[in-house]
């Protein structure tokens, strides 16, 4: 049976149930009505459960869906239509995956991989970068320079400075763009450059930026800026595109400098939100070969949404001189269009390859069983495993789901810290003080399985050392969670955690 037919059948079943409840209360006995409704709901749950079973999901996901459908039949049904259909995911992104792989291989696949320099790495580091090359089709570059940017003031200062220097083109891709002070400053800067003849393309996520005003968009379009929304959703409950979001944050200017990292465009990223206060975040500035990969990711996303093929020589990074003092850099894109769960598998490889330390910072920590087991085994093996998370939640279900994992991690020897100076939004993984990941992906299932993400993997760069130094500073303004204290938390918190943990496979 076709997927659309199945969905239609589900809708008819639920609709008929609601119709009975609303229209026949007075003409038939309440006992008959309850029995008929129960039978219809039961049939619909069994049918949906059978479909989920045939999709060969992970057992935890299958059980979670069955529990949700059994506990909340009507709500669970609607939730499944929006968030649960794997077949729809495949149809949405198969073409994008094939095109992306072909183009990336043509552009990047024949680039020098600096085999002599890779041979100088440890065996486990070589394995990681070879895996990244195979999954992401991008080679490691030793002709790339990076700079880790701390928090909003430094990040936006460099972004606006580079935009002002633009001569040929500016490409931007963001999950959240707000019509506030910093958002308007960005809009004005882009309009200014567009009027100077610079090509400006702006791709924003339609769900992450759903509050972005039409006036904001219209002003940019009238100034000659190409503005496109990613996977627009007009009727969310009839279209599960809402579940697959572009969480990437990319800027490429003239093909020579790029930005990637955790910061979206909004005043809260400058610490101007009263609830969050100080906003701790990390971004990365990139020069050289790796900018080409950032450019390719943007151009492929642009092509997917517009059909406009602009993979042209003038947008590619010019050749640069090899800088002997810089380490290796590899830019990797992950998303629902890739069957290998690229970012998750690279995180797993980093964790399992660690010899001395694994330091993680993530605002949303909802690991799947693979990552959770890898962290516990590493800690039990004597590796220094540390996790830095926010103390104040912005999404309570995710916050409590995160805390539901703490006890077993603490028992394995993982050290967990809550950042107390404000809201911690950095997305960092550091292994053995020399290998690091920085980008848009959180350590959670949504980033692993549903969102389009992009991360930079760094090996012995100056930025790697800066990330190590800043992580140590962040720990000084954080509170370490001790097992005895954690066990004394209120019962209601334990209840919230258990309920949120149940939904983890869906977050």
What pLDDT score does 194 carry?
Answer: 98
Is 137 a catalytic site residue? no
What pLDDT score does 237 carry?
Answer: 47
What pLDDT score does 502 carry?
Answer: 77
What pLDDT score does 29 carry?
Answer: 53
348 token code pair: 């797993």
Give DSSP secondary structure letters for 29-90.
-HHHHHHHHHHHHHHHHHHHHHHHHHTT--HHHHHHHHHHHHHSHHHHHHHHHHH--HHHHH
Q: Residue 427 and residue 262: Cα distance in Å, rounded?
A: 6
Q: Parallel, antiparallel, or unpaired: how do β-strands 357-361 and 384-390 relate? A: parallel
- In this structure, is the dihedral angle defined by the CA atoms of residues 310, 172, 97 and 237, taken in order, positive or negative? negative
Q: Residue 507 and residue 503: Cα distance in Å, rounded?
A: 6
Q: Which of 96, 169, 187, 249 is catalytic?
A: 249
Q: Residue 360 and residue 382: Cα distance in Å, rounded?
A: 16
Q: Which of 193, 283, 344, 425 is catalytic?
A: 425
Is 247 a catalytic site residue? yes
Q: Which of 96, 133, 169, 427 is catalytic?
A: 427
- According to DSSP, residue 499 is labeled H
User: CB of 289 within 8 A of CB of 144?
Assistant: yes
User: CB of 433 within 8 A of CB of 468?
Assistant: yes
Q: Residue 30 and residue 451: Cα distance in Å, rounded?
A: 46
> Distance from CA of residue 340 to its chain's centroid?
15
- According to DSSP, residue 315 is labeled G
Q: Which of 254, 281, 337, 444 is catalytic?
A: 254
User: CB of 354 within 8 A of CB of 375?
Assistant: no
Q: Which of 205, 432, 444, 474 is catalytic?
A: 432
Per-residue pLDDT of the chain in tens (507 residues, 90 and over written 9): 444 444 445 555 555 555 555 555 555 455 655 565 566 656 665 665 665 555 555 555 565 656 666 566 656 656 665 555 554 455 555 555 555 555 665 555 545 556 666 776 777 677 888 888 888 888 888 889 999 999 999 999 999 999 999 999 999 999 999 999 999 999 999 999 999 999 999 999 999 999 999 999 999 999 999 999 998 877 554 455 577 899 999 999 999 999 999 999 999 999 999 889 999 999 999 999 899 999 999 999 999 999 998 888 788 766 555 555 578 999 999 998 887 899 999 999 999 999 999 999 999 999 999 999 999 999 999 999 999 999 988 889 999 999 999 999 999 999 999 999 999 999 999 999 999 999 999 999 899 988 999 999 999 999 999 999 999 999 999 999 999 999 999 999 999 998 888 777 666
Q: Burial, 223: exposed, middle or buried (Cβ in 10 Å; 0-12, 13-18, 19+)?
A: middle
3-state DSSP helix/strand/coil percent for the chain, to nearest 5? 50, 20, 30
Is 425 a catalytic site residue? yes
Q: Give how far Cα 294 sits from Cα of 268, 355, 382, 467, Å.
A: 25, 30, 37, 21
What pLDDT score does 2 carry?
Answer: 46
Is 254 a catalytic site residue? yes
SS3 label, residue 491 = helix
The beta strands (E) that lie in 129-240 are given as: 144-150, 169-174, 199-205, 226-230
What pLDDT score does 13 carry?
Answer: 52
What pLDDT score does 314 carry?
Answer: 82
Is 90 a catalytic site residue? no
- According to DSSP, residue 471 is labeled H
> pTM, whole model, 2 decimals?
0.82
Is 449 a catalytic site residue? no
């Amino acid at each position: 049976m076709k997927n659309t037919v199945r969905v239609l059948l589900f809708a008819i079943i639920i609709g008929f149930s609601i119709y009975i409840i609303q229209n026949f209360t007075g003409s038939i006995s309440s006992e008959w009505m309850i029995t008929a409704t129960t039978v219809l709901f039961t049939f619909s749950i069994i049918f949906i459960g059978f479909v989920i079973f045939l999709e060969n999901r992970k057992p935890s996901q299958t059980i979670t869906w069955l529990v949700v459908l059994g506990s909340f039949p009507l709500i669970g049904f609607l939730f499944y239509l929006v968030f649960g259909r794997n077949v729809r995911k495949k149809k949405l992104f198969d073409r994008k995956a094939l095109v992306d792989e072909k183009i990336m291989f043509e552009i990047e696949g024949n680039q020098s991989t600096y085999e002599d320099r890779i041979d100088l790495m440890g065996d486990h580091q070589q394995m990681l970068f070879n895996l990244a090359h195979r999954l992401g089709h991008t080679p490691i570059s030793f002709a790339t320079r990076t700079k880790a940017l701390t928090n909003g003031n430094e990040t936006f200062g460099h972004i606006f400075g580079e935009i002002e220097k633009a001569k040929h083109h500016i490409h931007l891709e963001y999950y959240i763009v707000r019509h506030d002070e910093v958002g308007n400053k960005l809009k004005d800067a882009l309009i200014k450059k567009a009027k100077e003849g610079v090509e400006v393309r702006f791709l924003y996520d339609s769900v992450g930026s759903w509050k972005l005003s039409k006036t904001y968009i219209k002003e940019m379009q009238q100034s000659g800026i190409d503005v496109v929304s990613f996977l627009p959703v007009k009727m969310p409950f009839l279209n599960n595109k809402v579940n697959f979001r572009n969480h990437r944050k990319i800027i490429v200017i003239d093909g020579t400098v790029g930005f990637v990292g955790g910061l979206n465009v909004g005043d809260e990223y400058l610490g101007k939100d009263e609830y969050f206060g100080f906003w701790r975040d990390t971004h990365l500035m990139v020069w050289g070969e790796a900018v080409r990969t950032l450019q390719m990711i943007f151009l492929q996303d642009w092509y997917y949404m517009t059909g406009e093929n602009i993979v042209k020589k003038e947008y590619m990074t010019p050749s640069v001189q090899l800088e002997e003092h810089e380490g290796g850099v590899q830019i990797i894109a992950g998303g629902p269009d890739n069957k290998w769960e690229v970012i998750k598998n690279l995180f797993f490889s980093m964790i399992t390859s660690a010899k001395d330390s694994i330091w993680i910072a993530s605002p949303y920590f909802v690991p799947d069983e693979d990552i959770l087991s890898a962290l516990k085994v590493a800690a039990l093996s004597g590796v220094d495993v540390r996790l830095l998370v926010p103390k104040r939640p912005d999404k309570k279900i995710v916050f409590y789901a995160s805390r539901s994992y703490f006890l077993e991690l603490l028992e394995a020897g993982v050290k967990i810290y809550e950042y107390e100076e404000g809201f911690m939004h950095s997305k960092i993984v550091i292994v053995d003080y020399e290998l690091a990941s920085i980008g848009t992906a959180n350590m959670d299932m949504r980033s692993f399985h549903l969102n389009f993400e992009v991360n930079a993997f760094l090996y012995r760069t100056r930025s790697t050392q800066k990330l190590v130094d800043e992580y140590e500073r962040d720990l000084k303004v954080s509170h370490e969670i001790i097992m005895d204290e954690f066990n004394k938390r209120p019962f209601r918190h334990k209840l919230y955690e258990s309920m949120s943990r149940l939904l983890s496979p869906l977050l």
